[in-house]
Structure 1
Amino acid sequence: MDDMLEKYCGEFGLWQLRHLVLSSLAWLLQGIHTSVMIFADREPAWHCLMSHAGYTTPRCPTTAGSMCDLEPSSWEWSSGKGSSTMSEFGLICGDKFKVGLVQSIFFAGCMIGAGVFGHLSDSKLGRKGSLAMVCILNTIFGILTAFSSDYSTYVMFRFLTGLSAGGTGIIAFVIGTEPVGQSWRGVAGMSPFYFYSTGIAVVSAIGYFIQPWRSLYIASSIPSVIFVIFLLPFLHESPRWYLVRGKVDEAMKIMQKIAVSNGKPNIPDGIVLALDSEVNEDVPNAQSDTKEAVKGTILDVLRSPITRIRFFLGVAVNFFSSAVYYGLSLNAVNLGTNLYLNVALNAVAEMPAYLLSAFVLDRLGRKPVAIGTMWFSGVFCLAGSLVKSTNEAWKVVRMVCGLLGIFGIAGTFSILYVYLMELFPTVVRNAALGCATQAVQLGAISAPIVVVLGGGAPFAVFGACGIAGGFLVTYLPETLNKPLYDTMDGLQEAEAK
């Protein structure tokens, strides 16, 4: 596949650009579905009631910092009970932990969905079929969440949304980058994360103008409807998936389309795709579609000493990076600054990190950049834990530490997708990445629990995670300028040499 892209089709031309943009738009949807809960579950403003109509004497002290110390009849929500789930379902005081609980349950759904849909996209359903399924489910469950009658129903629909959202990013990433040639894969692999950050910024704007939580969930589901109806039909299946499934004819048709769209001559007769394990074998005629599918599961990853150590290290690094990334995002509620502005700034801070990482990724290599970005984030998180937010100035300093922490860990996040993709062959790539993504969701599940600690504790925990994750990356091999293997045999033969 890599040879054909380089010699006959073009490693990154108009076809790959269009395909990458279409697939990456699914990341925008994931950013929306993941971040909408920051605003739907926020603590809205409240005020004291007056003692009698026409009088200005409040029923409660105007200096009261929390409604938990007041009589329930002495205060009310400024925007009404329907402004957030916290106000409507009474998730305050002793029940405030339920806010973090529903967020953790959402990420638990993501963890399960990443494994399930990662496996389905490697099997008969394919990359495009799996992406269509998760996007449709995101739309359905996102809208149904708006009609939750109580907290338990809300938790159920958030879990189901997480189940479908968990597979969205990884499937979109693989289908978008698999048709890209080796020399462009690093840069192309970073681009979906711009769309994810854009999704966070979009939902910040939506949340600012549409604050009632039920309306917010409906509005945030509309982009998914647009994607499924108007954009998804123009997305192609991955030719690599066709190849490992034994469908050489379909794979060659895609390769011909890539060549034509990129302004290349037609692929010469007699040139046919082959798996990397078949390079020394006689290859059947290009029009043959009877080759046996090459299959692989996560068990194959665990059986091989080469991929086993990569798998466990990848899982651990993903867990630590996820805890930092989602933790810093959710910790915006503890900073005492404008929530909408802070979340939007976090999203903006991620974008230069992606640009810088993409610039150095093919120059310095995957490994040193991943280590450097994790340690950069860890250092600023530890600095944030030492800042006492006793006044507005120190609150701003802590917010800046958080922004720099987000800057570093966002770079790590984008690098890890490219890095781990290159560590595993096509036949087990989505299964392995699906499990690694489950580790991401496990870290995300832990993040809300840490955030509720408040103060400097979350920053200290996230700083330790960043330092530990960078240390583990030192044990992974470098993949810069290495081919993207198709089969376990191809990888093992290459490592043996």
Structure 2
Amino acid sequence: MYTFADCFRSPNVRKTTLLCLTCWFACYFGYLGVSYLSSEIATDVYLNLAINGLLELIPIALAATVASRLGNRLPLATYFLTGGIFAVIAGVIPGSSHAEVIAQNIVAFLSRLAFVGTCCVIFVYTTELFPTVIRNNAFSLCCTNLRIGSMIAPLLPLMAANTSFKGSGFIFVGIAAIIAALAAWLLRETKGQPLARTIDEVEKLAYGGMIGFLQLPLQTVKFNFRVRPPHHSGLRAKSVVALEPDSTIATRV
């Protein structure tokens, strides 16, 4: 019987769980945060809903096309990085004039479209990262972290209204998205890889990013050394330090 604790016991699964939790938190935290911080496109509620729905079809179609060709890791990291950069840009725009408010809303809307793309990729990607025996448990943990981000996002407008820097909410969203982009890049790519069924199968798979370099297996390489006796000459013979035969040195290969 597998439990939620199995998502943290083995090294690769534990790293995957922590990285996915980071990405899932930033996913809805960014989407809802930018939505709450930006103004509506149209004054009419129904027209605004229709415009937003139609424009959000663009990143959805783009995510499906790119993910099928390039895999899931690169599109997810790119969407997070794009959304984070646009959120930071929206935060540094003062918004003191009407033109600045319009510019801020346009940049914020581009950021929100990027977060829509993350939502399209992350659901499928997460199910492919975890083995079958704990897939439901891991997915439940990720959904819980997503809801936590959804609960914190409505507080961003209140924070922005009670601080001297009005763009602080956008900055927080941008920082969270950039951290999530790094976390997504450190995940392993699942395109062309077998779908793992057990935890042991996940531990044998190659890991992505810098973590993959740090988890290269240690192998033992043997070196044989021979020590020649010193030549007798007029010079004083120096002491020779010999290594024992079949000395072993652990190296990363």
Q: TM-score, normalised by structure 1?
A: 0.38
Report the counterpart of residue 338 of structure 1 in structure 2.
43
Instruction: Please list every run of 5 or more consecutive structure 1 residues that lacks an aligned counterpart in the other structure.
Output: 1-294
Distance in 2 between residues matched to 1:387 and 1:402, nearest whole Å: 11
* AA in 2 matched with 1:338: T
Counterpart Cα distance in 2 of 1:357 and 1:446: 26
> 2 CA distance for matches of 1:347 and 1:399?
16
Task: Return the letter of the residue paired with 2:189.
Answer: E
**Residue from 379, 392, 395 that aligns with 2:101:** 395
Residue 439 of structure 1 pairs with residue 149 of structure 2: no
Deviation, 1:435, is 0.4
Alignment correspondent of 1:375: 81
Distance in 2 between the 1:336 and 1:363 partners? 33
Shift of 1:421: 0.8
| Aligned mate of 2:171, from 460, 467, 476 | 460
Q: Give the superposition deviation at 1:492.
A: 4.0
* Residue 182 (structure 2) pairs with residue 471 (structure 1): yes
Distance (Å, rounded) in 1 between the aligned partners of 2:193 and 2:61: 22
* Alpha-carbon distance in structure 2 between the residues aligned to 1:338 and 1:372: 32
CA distance in 2, matches of 1:386, 1:462: 13
Partner Cα distance (2:44, 2:105) in 1: 11
Instruction: State the Cα distance separating 1:412 from its structure 2 match.
Output: 1.2
Question: Which residue of structure 2 lines up, in the alignment, with residue 430 of structure 1?
Answer: 136
Are residues 1:315 and 2:21 paired?
Answer: yes
Mapped contact 1:378–1:463 kept (Cα < 8 A) = yes
Taking structure 2 as the reference length, what is the TM-score of the superposition? 0.72
Residue 60 (structure 1) aligns with: none
Relative to 1, partners in 2 of residues 1:490 and 1:469: Cα closer, same or farther, differing over 3 Å? closer
State the alpha-carbon separation in 1 of the partners of residues 101 and 157 from structure 2: 16
1:331-388 deviations in Å (ceiling 9; x for gaps): 34x5696372445433333221011111111222211111111111111111111223
SS at match of 2:186: coil
Q: Deviations over 1:232-271 (max 9, x none)?
A: xxxxxxxxxxxxxxxxxxxxxxxxxxxxxxxxxxxxxxxx
Relative CO higher for 1 or 2, CA cutoff 8 Å, sep ≥ 6? Answer: 2
* 3-state SS, counterpart of residue 56 of structure 2: helix
Which residue matches 2:113?
407
Give the CA deviation at 1:322: 2.1
Decide which structure has greater helix share: 1
1:91-144 Cα offsets, whole Å, 9 max, x none, are xxxxxxxxxxxxxxxxxxxxxxxxxxxxxxxxxxxxxxxxxxxxxxxxxxxxxx
Max radius of gyration: which structure? 2
2:204 and 2:138 map into 1 onto residues whose CA distance is 20
Amino acid paired to 1:478: E
How do residues 54-133 of structure 1 correspond to structure 2 at under 5 angstroms?
Answer: none
* 1:480 aligns to 2:211 (yes or no): no
**Is residue 362 from structure 1 mapped to residue 68 from structure 2 by the alignment?**
yes
1:494, 1:467 → 2: CA distance? 26
> Could you say which residue in structure 1 is the equivalent of 2:227?
none
The answer to whether the Cα contact below 8 Å between 1:374 and 1:470 also exists between their aligned partners in 2 is: yes
Is it true that 1:421 corresponds to 2:132 in the alignment?
Answer: no
1:105 is matched with none
Matching residue of 1:347: 53
How far does residue 411 in structure 1 lie from its aligned partner after superposition? 0.7
Pair 375,343 (structure 1): closer, same or farther in 2 beyond 3 Å: farther
Corresponding position of 1:385: 91
1:336 to 1:408, Cα distance in 2 relative to 1, 3 A: closer
User: Contact 1:349 / 1:403 at 8 angstroms: preserved in 2?
Assistant: no
1:398 positional shift: 1.6
Q: Structure 2: state its 5+ residue gaps.
A: 207-215, 218-253
Q: How does 1:199-348 map to 2 (within 5 A)?
A: 295-332=1-38, 334=39, 338=43, 340=45, 341-348=47-54
Q: In the aligned structure 1, how far is the partner of 2:121 from the partner of 2:139?
A: 13
User: By how many angstroms is 1:468 displaced?
Assistant: 1.5
The DSSP-based 3-state class of the residue aligned with 1:474 is: helix
> Cα distance 1:475–1:493, how it changes in 2: closer, same or farther (>3 A)?
closer
